[in-house]
Chains A and B, each alone.
Chain A
Amino acid sequence: MPNSEGEAKVADAVSLEPLAVVEVLPSPRRARWFGRLSAGFAYRWAFRESLLGGAFEGELGAQDNRFAGGVRLRVEAGRMQAGLLYQVVTLGPSFWLPSIAERLRFGMGLEAGAVMVDRRTVPGSAMWTVAWGGRIDAAVDLVRVGTSGGLFFSTGVAAQVLTAAPFPVTVVAGAALGYRP
């Protein structure tokens, strides 16, 4: 209950004003969680042979309104055209540049891991070597979800050094569909 005439007038004025919704934009420098998952195919050239496989990638890190970065785990498995099965597992830091036209993003990263080739003479065992190198990626948003999420198509190319292999370099290219919450 208003105690005085003045207070009663103020209360009436406030109640007559329409409610205003004020949208407070997040600070462009505020860091938020960043994550992405994708699955696709990969073509790899290694040991002077062609290898075809599927690749799964998961990335977790932080982002602001411009940049994003995190740690990326990549698992690739498939078959050499010559017959043997292979797997590649890599882990490393990744970095995404500000988006172009709010849809296209370029990224890069470093990765280290292992390339394994299954033996045919001893089922269940594999030959393996350490791999390390870098990669360049591009991702285009197909469907936007919320302020920073979406379904995307990505493509990338990577080159890695193999520490003990018949040919010391492997190159991989691929394309994938993914989701970024």
Chain B
Amino acid sequence: MLRSVMALSTRLRSRVKGTLRRITLAGVAFLLLMADGGISGDELQCELAVDRMLTCCPELGSVSLSCVRSGCGGTMVPDIDESRAACLRNASCEQLKAQGVCDPATWETPLNCMPPCMLKVPKCQ
């Protein structure tokens, strides 16, 4: 009798241990996924476009553009949208210089910028 009770208790303890281990692992995996910063396509394209601009126009030094997407539903979006970023990436350095990308004074206000809009981005056609 005592032996069977002890066996049951051991089995129960190992089952509880197994369940706890599974819950801990699932929790760690969940936290890892929740903590995942993620790389969005528009962020990456924006950063690549800025890299292209700075490579072709070293005189810019640095740019006051943001490529961050954040907030629930993306309340903060990259300053350079994907189509403009693709245009900047595909153009040659000569084309970028000819379009005034290397001169921030010629940059334009993006169409979707809500007033009062202080943002200026390089033109690209």
- Chain B interface residue count, Cβ-Cβ cutoff 8 angstroms: 24
> Does B51 contact A127, Cβ atoms closer than 8 Å?
no
Bound complex: CA A129 to CA B36 (Å): 6
- For residue B114, CB closer than 8 A to chain A, the reply is no
Q: Give the contacting residue for A165; candidates B33, B39, B47; CB below 8 A.
A: B39
Q: Provided the pairs A121-B50, A121-B65, A121-B66 are in contact, do residues A129 and B37 lie with their beta carbons within 8 angstroms?
A: yes
Closest to B89 in A: A82
CB neighbours (8 Å) of B43 from chain A are 127
> Does B36 contact A120, Cβ atoms closer than 8 Å?
no
Bound complex: CA A10 to CA B66 (Å): 94
Closest to B45 in A: A166
Q: Give the contacting residue for A130; candidates B32, B44, B89; CB below 8 A.
A: B32
Q: Provided the pairs A119-B67, A130-B33, A163-B33 are in contact, do residues A83 and B38 lie with their beta carbons within 8 angstroms?
A: no
Instruction: For residue A105, give the distance in angstroms from its CB to the closest CB of chain B.
Output: 31
CB neighbours (8 Å) of A129 from chain B are 36-39
Residue from B33, B44, B46, B48 having most chain A Cβ neighbours under 10 A: B44
> Does B38 contact A84, Cβ atoms closer than 8 Å?
no
For the A-B complex, the count of residue pairs with Cβ-Cβ distances under 8 Å equals: 64
- Chain A interface residue count, Cβ-Cβ cutoff 8 angstroms: 19
CB neighbours (8 Å) of B44 from chain A are 47, 117, 127, 166
- For residue B93, CB closer than 8 A to chain A, the reply is no
Q: Provided the pairs A83-B55, A120-B54, A130-B32 are in contact, do residues A164 and B38 lie with their beta carbons within 8 angstroms?
A: yes
- For residue B6, CB closer than 8 A to chain A, the reply is no
Q: Give the contacting residue for B47; candidates A119, A130, A163, A164; CB below 8 A.
A: A119
Instruction: For residue B69, give the distance in angstroms from its CB to the closest CB of chain A.
Output: 9
- For residue A41, CB closer than 8 A to chain B, the reply is no
Contact flags B1-44 to A (C-beta < 8 A → 1, else 0): 00000000000000000000000000000001100111111011
Residue contacts A-B, CB under 8 angstroms, 7 given: A83-B55, A119-B67, A120-B54, A121-B47, A127-B37, A162-B39, A164-B40
